[in-house]
Amino acid sequence: MSAVVFEGIWKKFRRGERHDSLRDLVPALARGLARRKRPLDLTDQEFWAVRDVSFEVNPGEALGIIGPNGAGKSTILKLLTKILRPTRGRIEMHGRVGALIEVAAGFHPDLTGRENVYLQGAIMGMARAEIARKFDAIVDFSGVEAFIDTPVKRYSSGMNARLGFAIAASLDPDILLIDEVLSVGDVGFQEKCVTRMRELLARGVPLVFVSHNLAAVVDLCTRAILVERGSVRFDGRPAETVAEFRRGRRDQTVRPLPSADAIHISDVQLLRADGEASPLFHTGQPMTIQVHYRAPQPVRAPHIAIDIHGVDGLYCAGINTRMDNWGLGTLEGEGRVELVIPQLNLLPGSYTISAGILDPQGLRPLDLQSHAYPFSVASERKDFGVVYLEHHWRHDVGSPAASPAGDARTPAASLARRRPAAVVGVGGARK
Amino acid sequence: MNILREVVAEQWEYRELLVRMTSRDLLLRYKQTVMGFGWAIFMPLVNTAIFSVIFTRVAAIDVGMPYPVFAFCGLVAWNFFSSALRFSVSSLTSNPSLVTKVYFPREIFPFSAVLVSLVDFAVSALVLVALMWWYHVVPGWPLLMLPVVVTSLVIFTAATALLLAMGNLFYRDVKYLFEIVIAFWMFATSVVYPIGRVGGRLGVLLALNPMTHLIDAFRAVILEGRMPNQAFAITTLASVVIFGGAWLMFHAAEFEFAENL
């Protein structure tokens, strides 16, 4: 049995202001009486926010919902949490629903952190005894121990969010709903969120994840649907759905580039060693990035550029044909350019690839697809950071002269010398 | 009937939240006040003093007992009713983030407003006991009926609270109308004078006011040693029916709240 059944859901919304005062009520009632309308008829003030959306989520499955702004993603989530009721259709949720949405909505500014934990816990459906049992763990997770008896109006917004999240995370839900939580808090906090989500997922808790963070969707979800103008346009594996979303976006957003008529990127494929397109790679394994182009008119000596960014926006690599002095000549018609990376030295995490075609000077983009192609890297390596540096250790015992820092006169000087390396190691907290 | 059972079951499931919300509101109400619960006693006392001057010195009326006890008893019950409604009327609209972002049975808002006022009611009832001792008013065995009378009063209050909270969410006019109506309503109820003495057509009209029967019964069992009359029984029955109806209406409209707030 599916944990979540969302079947043939329609949801109608009203544009603009509703008659909010009694003065407008009478004419509205008169109109309502005059015209008996069926539920699926729309007046000129109404529109479908969600139309005929169906999906099921089984235990152990993580469903990602992506789509442009205003597509109806959040409405779907609000329907799942029972805040909104569908105009038509059937929703079934089996078990306790935990929602990582508005985790601090129940907080009252005048109450202390402690009082708010109990209040918010009760709002999320936890019994008093359950909250009392988990209280220490919640406070510990949130990292606001020192301020737990301070009114939350004196908290920073980050502390507020962390405390709220800690409460939500301590809930043992049968179904987990998440809306864009990954966009709040610092990197460390986001990492905690992801870890908690993976934990629950590993236990077989079904997950519904609404996000604009496409890389995170590819990373976390087992399936994804693309929602556009209220209906499901695509349903498949996360990488496919993200690719489909990108294709649709490209048609709308990249077209306006004045030179896009001359040449544009028709597709980008990420290939593994076996030549199969995949969103998942391994540290140290090969990766081939295929850039397909279409040039209706001849374009003289363009350049291809590939950028790789981490999910947190960290610029990991920028490679282009101009820098490599690799000429393409004049391009016309269709073709593809391959960037072969024999060893992908990225550590586990989520990344995105941007692809662009630049003019001969390498200045003006003829076509540019920023952060369009997400992929994840997995590895057995436990190093921190973004990049895998090939390394080995050596240990010399004996006279100081034998050490590589032998010219350092004092220990302090040698420490200062090493500091940049240490910063890379600690600061490179990867998402 | 089935829906009603479901609704009550859901409310029961969320009983901890109801308690939590009530204690939140109590805590907030008296946080940063010096008098705290003293306010619950102070307001009816001031009113009692004022009306005592009016109805014993200016226009003396005979109420068959020391007037301050009569007035305070009525005011305690009336203050419960009016303050519960005053909190309920804006209970949904003043918690927009909870109504639009988190799901739980929305009845909790008006219900917790009623419970908060019930706590104040209990506190000021202590003063009533002190006043009765001072004026040597001894209650009789009908006092045993007090829980029934209070329950009836709470049910009628809760029914009205549901309707007002819901009404104000859709039409903000309700809040202003409420202030006007509640002011008139008090003087149409036997709060500070026995309204049963009004005769004629106006008397018949006033007899339709359920609050009169509830407050009369309250006073009867506490001060007069009388059992509540037949009008009280009818009012109680009607309250239960109205309460069920109001709850069903509230439940049906509940899912529109987030869209209309």
Q: Classify residue A75: in a domain, yes or no.
A: yes
- Answer yes or no: do A115 and B27 touch at CB < 8 A: yes
Write the Ramachandran bin of A149: left for phi over 0, alpha for psi from -120 to 50, otherwise beta: alpha
pLDDT above 60: residue A36: no
Percentage of chain B beyond pLDDT 90 is 51
Q: Classify residue A82: in a domain, yes or no.
A: yes
At residue B119 the predicted structure's pLDDT band, cuts being 50, 70 and 90, is: very high
Residue to substitute from B24, B25, B108, interface A, most A β-carbons within 10 A:
B24
Given A25, A85, A111, which is nearest B27 (Cβ)?
A111
Buried b (16+ CB within 10 A) or exposed e, B204-240: eebeebbbbbbbbbbbbbbbbeeebeebbeebbeebe
Tell me if chain A has a CB within 8 Å of the CB of B258.
Answer: yes
Q: State ipTM.
A: 0.81
Alpha carbons B251 and B171: distance in angstroms, whole number = 17
CA of B254 vs chain A CAs: smallest distance (Å): 9
A431, A282: one domain: yes
A173, A307: one domain: no
The residue with greater pLDDT, A82 or B234, is B234
Domain of A395 in residue numbering reads as 259-431
pLDDT above 60: residue A32: no
A168, A282: one domain: no
> In what side-by-side order are the strands of the sheet with A97-100?
A97-100, A175-179, A207-210, A62-66, A223-228, A231-236
Mean pLDDT on A278-289:
88
The residue with greater pLDDT, B195 or B116, is B116
pLDDT above 90: residue B60: no
Each residue's pLDDT tens digit, B171-197: 889 999 999 999 999 989 988 888 877
A394, A311: one domain: yes
Each residue's pLDDT tens digit, B198-244: 878 888 888 899 999 999 999 999 998 889 989 999 999 999 999 99
Q: Are A356 and A365 in contact (CB under 8 A)?
A: yes
Beta strand A287-300 pairing with A330-341: antiparallel
Which of A84-88, A247-251, A399-403 bottoms out in mean pLDDT, i.e. has the lowest?
A: A399-403
Q: Which of A210, A240, A270 is the last residue of a domain?
A: A240
A118, A225: one domain: yes
**Total domains present in chain A:** 2
Q: Classify residue A24: in a domain, yes or no.
A: no
Given B16, B24, B101, which is nearest A83 (Cβ)?
B101
Q: Classify residue A250: in a domain, yes or no.
A: no
Mean pLDDT on A368-378:
80
CA dihedral A219, A225, A230, A231 (to 10 degrees): 170
Residues in chain A whose beta carbon is closer than 8 A to a beta carbon of chain B?
13-14, 18, 20-22, 25, 78, 81-85, 99, 101-102, 105-106, 108, 110-111, 115, 118-119, 122-125, 127-128
A278, A360: one domain: yes
- Answer yes or no: do A125 and B172 touch at CB < 8 A: no
At residue B57 the predicted structure's pLDDT band, cuts being 50, 70 and 90, is: confident
H-run or E-run covering A283: none
Tell me if chain A has a CB within 8 Å of the CB of B103.
Answer: yes
A50, A191: one domain: yes
- Answer yes or no: do A118 and B104 touch at CB < 8 A: no
Which of A253-267, A288-302, B136-150, B191-205 bottoms out in mean pLDDT, i.e. has the lowest?
A: A253-267
Given A25, A84, A108, which is nearest B171 (Cβ)?
A25
Given A13, A110, A122, which is nearest B17 (Cβ)?
A122
Q: Is the dihedral of CA A236, A239, A245, A247 positive or negative?
A: negative
Which of A196, A358, A336, A209 minimizes the C-alpha distance to A266?
A336
- The predicted pLDDT at position B186 comes to 92
CATH number at residue A94: 3.40.50.300
Q: Classify residue A379: in a domain, yes or no.
A: yes
Interface contacts A/B by beta carbons within 8 Å? 69
Mean pLDDT on A335-354:
89
A169, A226: one domain: yes
The residue with greater pLDDT, B201 or B111, is B111
Mean pLDDT on A311-325:
84
CATH number at residue A267: 2.70.50.60
Residues 22-51 of B with CB under 8 A from A: 24, 27-28, 31-32
Residue position matching structure tokens 């009520």: A25
CA of B36 vs chain A CAs: smallest distance (Å): 16
Residue B230 has phi, psi (to 5 degrees) of -65, -35
A301, A198: one domain: no
Q: Classify residue A88: in a domain, yes or no.
A: yes
pLDDT above 50: residue A411: no
Q: Classify residue A317: in a domain, yes or no.
A: yes
Please, what is the average pLDDT of chain B?
Answer: 90
Please, what is the average pLDDT of chain A?
Answer: 80
Residue to substitute from A24, A108, A124, A181, interface B, most B β-carbons within 10 A:
A108
A172, A264: one domain: no
A366, A221: one domain: no
Q: For chain B, give percent helix, strand, coil, nearest 5.
A: 80, 0, 20
Alpha carbons A122 and B15: distance in angstroms, whole number = 9
- The predicted pLDDT at position A377 comes to 84
pLDDT above 70: residue A174: yes
Is B91 exposed, middle or buried, given 0-12, 13-18 or 19+ CB atoms closer than 10 A? buried
* Residue A185, CA distances (Å) to A137, A228, A311, B21 in order: 19, 28, 14, 28
Mean pLDDT on A60-72:
88
At residue A31 the predicted structure's pLDDT band, cuts being 50, 70 and 90, is: low
Mean pLDDT on B21-44:
83
Q: Which of A240, A267, A287 is the last residue of a domain?
A: A240
A282, A211: one domain: no
Q: Are A291 and A263 in contact (CB under 8 A)?
A: no
User: Which residues in chain A have Cβ-Cβ distances shorter than 8 Å to B103?
Assistant: 81-83
Which of B118, B97, B113 minimizes the C-alpha distance to B162?
B113
- Answer yes or no: do B27 and A14 touch at CB < 8 A: no
User: Which residues in chain B have Cβ-Cβ distances shorter than 8 Å to A123?
Assistant: 17, 20, 98, 102, 104
Q: Classify residue A406: in a domain, yes or no.
A: yes
- Answer yes or no: do B16 and A85 touch at CB < 8 A: no
- Answer yes or no: do A119 and B21 touch at CB < 8 A: yes
- The predicted pLDDT at position A39 comes to 59
- Answer yes or no: do B258 and A78 touch at CB < 8 A: yes
| 3-class DSSP state of A382 | coil
Give the global pTM: 0.72
- Answer yes or no: do B27 and A21 touch at CB < 8 A: no
